[in-house]
Amino acid sequence: MSKNCLFCKIVKGEIPAAKVFESETVLGFKDINPSAPIHVLFISKTHTNDISELSIDPTALSDLFSSLTEYATTIPELKDGYRLIINKGPRGGQSVFHTHIHLLGGKQMQGF
Ligand code: 5GP
Ligand code: ZN
């Protein structure tokens, strides 16, 4: 846990979040400022700053991806597909430095 990390505070229940998925190691919750009808964030409960740090732990990485794909299979609006985004570092648009994957869907996604 990182003391001043926003998403660690969500994991600890110190800040509320609309949870959509929870396991021992992974949490999925709605983004507070959604960019699509479905916009959720998936995180490992263990703190890492960004995707390059998380990638050192193949088990955590695999847990995270299998959790979000498992979640997606339960949502009819995601049956035909969805988009995953990982922002890395300030130049990549990362604003919360606890590794997270954006899952966006529920509408036709266009190019970026
Ligand atoms: P990033 O820009 O780091 O890739 O994404 C951070 C995301 O976290 C943003 O989409 C932002 O809307 C979301 N976010 C920021 N603060 C909170 C919060 O307190 N609760 C939730 N649920 N999402 C947040
Ligand atoms: Zn954290």
Percentages of the chain per state (helix, strand, coil), in multiples of 5: 30, 20, 50
Helix (H) or strand (E) holding 7: helix 6-12
Q: pLDDT category, 87, cuts 50, 70, 90?
A: very high
Q: Which pLDDT score is estimated for 40?
A: 98
Helix (H) or strand (E) holding 84: strand 83-85
Q: Name the residue ranges covered by the structural domains of the chain.
A: 6-105
Q: Is any atom of ligand 1 closer than 6 Å to the C-beta of 33? A: yes
Residue found under tokens 């929870």: 22
pTM (predicted TM-score): 0.97
Which one of the ligands is nearest to 15 CA?
Answer: 1
Q: Is 98 considered catalytic here?
A: no
Per-residue pLDDT tens for 37-84? 999 999 999 999 999 999 999 999 999 999 999 999 999 999 999 999
Which one of the ligands is nearest to 86 CA?
Answer: 1
Query: At residue 29, does pLDDT exceed 90?
Result: yes
Can you tell me which atom of ligand 1 is nearest the CA of 92?
A: 4
Decide: 64 and 71 in contact? Cβ < 8 Å.
no
CATH architecture of 6-105: 2-Layer Sandwich (3.30)
